[in-house]
Structure 1
Amino acid sequence: EVSDALKSQVDKLDHVLFANFSHKTIIELSERLIKVMPDGLNKFSFVDNGSASIECALKMAFQYCAQNGKDHKKRFMCFTDAYHGETLGALSVGALDEYSKVFEPIMIDTIKVQAPDCYRCPYNKNRESCDCECFEHAEKAFAEYGHETCAMIIEPLIQGSAGMKIYPPLYLKKLRELCDLYDVLLIADEIATGFGRTGKMFAVDHAGISPDIMCISKGLTNGYMAMAVCVSTDEIYNGFYGDYEDNVAFMHSHTYAGNPLAASVANATLKIMERDHILDEANEKAIWLNNRFHEIFDEHPNVGEIRQMGLINAIELVEDKESKKGFDSSERIGYKIYREALKQGLMLRPLGNVMYFNPPLVITKEELDESLRICKEAIDVVLL
């Protein structure tokens, strides 16, 4: 059905430069997106990939502050262990050395806030007893730098490339309040978490909050074509209005922004998700899958933690379960497991010592069970 939509669009309009133009397919997509967005997010700036949407969000936040009486706010905050893409702006608000170290001399200077680490909690809390004591790091950073910060960007609830680190919705609620207190814009990077990955349409929905700017991609087009959107509020949108000579328009465009072919795929994807109740079915499978993870890995001597949100499941492999001591990166444990699983036709994508499942929402239980079997066998071959 998605392929048919794409083929049909090819014969109608394959491309048009989106600067000063629009087209029926993108208007239809905008109308569909409004129905599923968190409250207040209703203005769409289309780009062609996830990193481009991050660049768009950063520029939008900076320019909005610069021309709306907040020109003293010029800096960005982000989490430690963050990942937001690999263009220069995106790298600057990330914090994973393997991607950014070589480019540090030409990157933007940003403010790093210590991210939550619920598995190795420095406050000796567990997920059940946590009251977000670690939020004090954010409070201290805002107290020191909030006056000069235009926006904070986050991966809501799941720091993916850092090892599928999951933190509680309460932290996100507190962060929304803190941003409001210091007049700092909140940018949510939902590129990896959006469109049902976490059990709700967007990860921020778990906390019941709305960011000021949100970046979406990946699931938007069902993996068919490149497309991303930087979504904002009326307040931000109106901050770019003025007379021509005021020069306050947001000058950010890409050749393939709002491409009709990608938009047709996104429309078909959203139509199917709503019509076939894909999210409800995925959530039913998520409960089953998490139970299977615990059945298989709870007693494994090298599985330190099982993490889950929606259909995303991850296991962190450790050398010592009691002390939570991880394997040295030089051992390349994750890569060795990947090689073993590949022999049986399963492609895993380890994040260091973290093995994770982030499957299609329509995957079957039989496919998941077979994947788990191979994953477990590969782990045992390498570690036992």
Structure 2
Amino acid sequence: MSNYQSIDLDFDREHIWHPYTSMIEPLPVYPVTHTDKNRIFLETGESLIDGMASWWSALHGYNHPKLVKAMTVQASKMSHVMFGGITHAPAVDLCKKLVEITPKPLQKVFLADSGSVSVEVAIKMALQYWLSQGLSNKTKLMTAKKGYHGDTFAAMSVCDPVNSMHSMYQGFLPEHIFVDAPQSKFGEEQNDAELIALENTFKQHHNELAAFIIEPIVQNAGGMNFYNAKYLKKLRELCDKYDVLLILDEIATGFGRTGKMFACEHADIAPDILCIGKALTGGCMTLSATLTTDKVALGISQGEAKVLMHGPTFMGNPLACATAIASLELLEETDWQANVERINHAMQNLHRCTTLGVVREVRTLGAIGVVELCETVDVAKIQKFFIDKGLWIRPFGKLIYIMPPYITPDKDIERLCSGIYEAIEHKAY
């Protein structure tokens, strides 16, 4: 521990604003000194099994030598250079790889610096596309309730309008059209009635719709809703039928998390616009991308503006691009599908939580495990319980969930599952 400077928690509490935290009654924070593989080490001596993959991004765990080498080598050459009027090998090589691994119609890549910004770019693409076609009436988005797409303003406007953390901004945000969240569960029968209701909404609003945006198969931070692939397939058909663009937000679901490289593969469809981020760099650097078709990209370029009106300062950051290339190579070199299947098998231990009266449902898909309670979780209380058990799990709302790194061994998955069971059993929530 002598290699690490002591962390000033008093200063942190008084001056640093953490995510979704009050400055009057801040949630406790735990001082981390270093990470390794699937472990987080605290200044107080605890070694924690990471069940969150740093908000679902650290697929390969921490400090993987391939990723560290990629960052080190690139930093010694060029950490950043503006992307306006300049290009470089890391950006070109990364975009080649993204075009190769994403659904075939996606041919144009816009690089940005966070998942939320990739959604902003996607919305701009959709709106600007229809303007370029002379259709100034197609200015609204349609989306499903229980969605979450980020914390910036356009992204907030398509998050769940009632239950999301952004409901307080109603009145300030653009008003879009919401349909009920998909009800039919993944792997079960599809209820045709909800597909009929979905089409009726398309019939009513398609003349004003620029795009439909949704997280494919798994609605994540809006409630961890795993829905039927047939819903997604029908959605693609309806977007085609009613001349509406389909935006898929794969920021959380991309790069194997649901058992497919991209979750839309469960339905064998491709979007018009795709958002990716989070795990793109293996959790090492902030980077995102918005991919689109020739139709959308060329349509925008033929419009009045002729350019997409967006250009982040750190767009195409060479350091992040080089790291992303290394992370994607690592996915290819390792049998990520077998690892995801192995993790899913180990996470079946979560199902014993259904014997506890307060548990509403347990569900798993790919390397995602969710225990939904009937009561809201006290995050500070349960976090302390998990720390004492040597675990890093951060619930929200009524959901206790895990999305561990793909390298996590079975014995650690078992400890994560047992810890969740014990926390509920002992009412440590």
Which TM-score applies when normalising by structure 1? 0.90
Write the mapping of 1:146-165 to structure 2, written as runs, cut at 5 A: 146-165=206-225
SS in 2 for 1:105: coil
Name the structure 2 match of 1:292.
349
2:425 counterpart letter in structure 1: D
Question: Is 1:279 paired with 2:337?
Answer: yes
Shift of 1:96: 4.9
Question: Is 1:366 paired with 2:411?
Answer: yes
RMSD of the alignment, in Å? 1.9
Name the structure 2 match of 1:253.
311
Q: 1:335 to 1:137 in 2, by over 3 A?
A: farther
SS in 2 for 1:141: helix
Name the structure 1 match of 2:203.
143
CA distance in 1, matches of 2:254, 2:146: 20
Q: 1:367 to 1:290 in 2, by over 3 A?
A: closer
Pick from 350, 367, 370 the counterpart of residue 314 of structure 1: 370
Pick from 23, 27, 38 the counterpart of residue 88 of structure 2: 23
CA distance in 1, matches of 2:371, 2:161: 20
Query: 1:77·1:152 contact (CA, 8 Å) conserved in 2?
Result: yes
CA distance in 1, matches of 2:71, 2:360: 44
Structure 1: which 5+ runs fail to align? 120-125, 318-325
Structure 2: which 5+ runs fail to align? 1-65
Query: 1:44·1:230 contact (CA, 8 Å) conserved in 2?
Result: yes
Question: Is 1:181 paired with 2:246?
Answer: no
CA distance in 2, matches of 1:229, 1:66: 23
2:395 counterpart letter in structure 1: P
Name the structure 1 match of 2:27.
none
SS in 1 for 2:170: helix
Pick from 259, 269, 290 the counterpart of residue 230 of structure 1: 290
Shift of 1:280: 2.8
1:371 counterpart letter in structure 2: L
CA distance in 1, matches of 2:189, 2:170: 38
SS in 1 for 2:323: helix
SS in 2 for 1:377: helix
Query: 2:133·2:299 contact (CA, 8 Å) conserved in 1?
Result: yes
Write the mapping of 1:49-68 to structure 2, written as runs, cut at 5 A: 49-68=114-133
Question: Is 1:43 paired with 2:108?
Answer: yes
CA distance in 2, matches of 1:127, 1:279: 18
SS in 2 for 1:305: strand
CA distance in 2, matches of 1:130, 1:24: 46
CA distance in 2, matches of 1:48, 1:58: 16
Query: 1:75·1:110 contact (CA, 8 Å) conserved in 2?
Result: yes
Name the structure 2 match of 1:340.
385
Shift of 1:313: 1.1
Name the structure 1 match of 2:268.
208
Name the structure 2 match of 1:82.
147
Name the structure 2 match of 1:267.
325
Query: 1:336·1:382 contact (CA, 8 Å) conserved in 2?
Result: no
Shift of 1:211: 0.5
SS in 2 for 1:21: coil
Name the structure 2 match of 1:321.
none
Q: 1:147 to 1:342 in 2, by over 3 A?
A: same
Q: 1:167 to 1:335 in 2, by over 3 A?
A: farther
Q: Higher relative contact order by CA 8 Å / sep ≥ 6: 1 or 2?
A: 2
After superposition, give the CA deviation of every residue in 1:127-161 in whole Å (9 maximum; x if it has no partner): 63433432233212111111110101001111111
2:226 counterpart letter in structure 1: I
Number of residue pairs matched by the alignment:
363
Write the mapping of 1:184-203 to structure 2, written as runs, cut at 5 A: 184-203=244-263
Query: 1:334·1:354 contact (CA, 8 Å) conserved in 2?
Result: no
Calculate percent identity across the aligned residue pairs. 36
Question: Is 1:103 paired with 2:172?
Answer: no
CA distance in 2, matches of 1:335, 1:354: 14
1:86 counterpart letter in structure 2: D
Name the structure 1 match of 2:68.
3
2:423 counterpart letter in structure 1: A
SS in 1 for 2:350: helix
2:309 counterpart letter in structure 1: M
SS in 2 for 1:359: coil
Query: 2:347·2:414 contact (CA, 8 Å) conserved in 1?
Result: no
Query: 2:125·2:300 contact (CA, 8 Å) conserved in 1?
Result: no
Q: 1:316 to 1:118 in 2, by over 3 A?
A: farther
CA distance in 1, matches of 2:298, 2:189: 43
